[in-house]
Amino acid sequence: MAFEFTDSNFQETALDNKGVSVVDFWAEWCGPCRMITPIIEELSEEFNGKATIGKVNVDNNPEVSMKYGIRSIPTILILKDGEVVDKQVGVTSKAALKSKIEAAL
């Protein structure tokens, strides 16, 4: 199961994390977000122990969403050692996302 990032745990779990974090900004009412959820779940299992892969509900966590200027969802940020190294806006394939994660590792 994908990790749940929140306004209160984001600093500790994504920014202070040494290594790679993949953050999917989504909302329950967003159709394209629901399309990418199974991909995020699968990648979370595949990269278990190598990367922290999770989701931020933009409706429940406005601070972190505003900090990164999230205006369209789904938006996926790939962070390495707390810095954004890649970004994907909109739906993408599992293969494309996996490739971006592997490049960051």
User: Residues with catalytic annotation?
Assistant: 30, 33
19's tokens: 């290594």
Residues 58, 25 contacting (CB under 8 angstroms): yes
CA distance 82 to 93: 25
* Cβ-based burial of 18 (10 A; exposed 0-12, middle 13-18, buried ≥19): exposed
45-65 in b/e form (b: 16+ CB < 10 A) is eebeeebbbbbbbbeebeebb
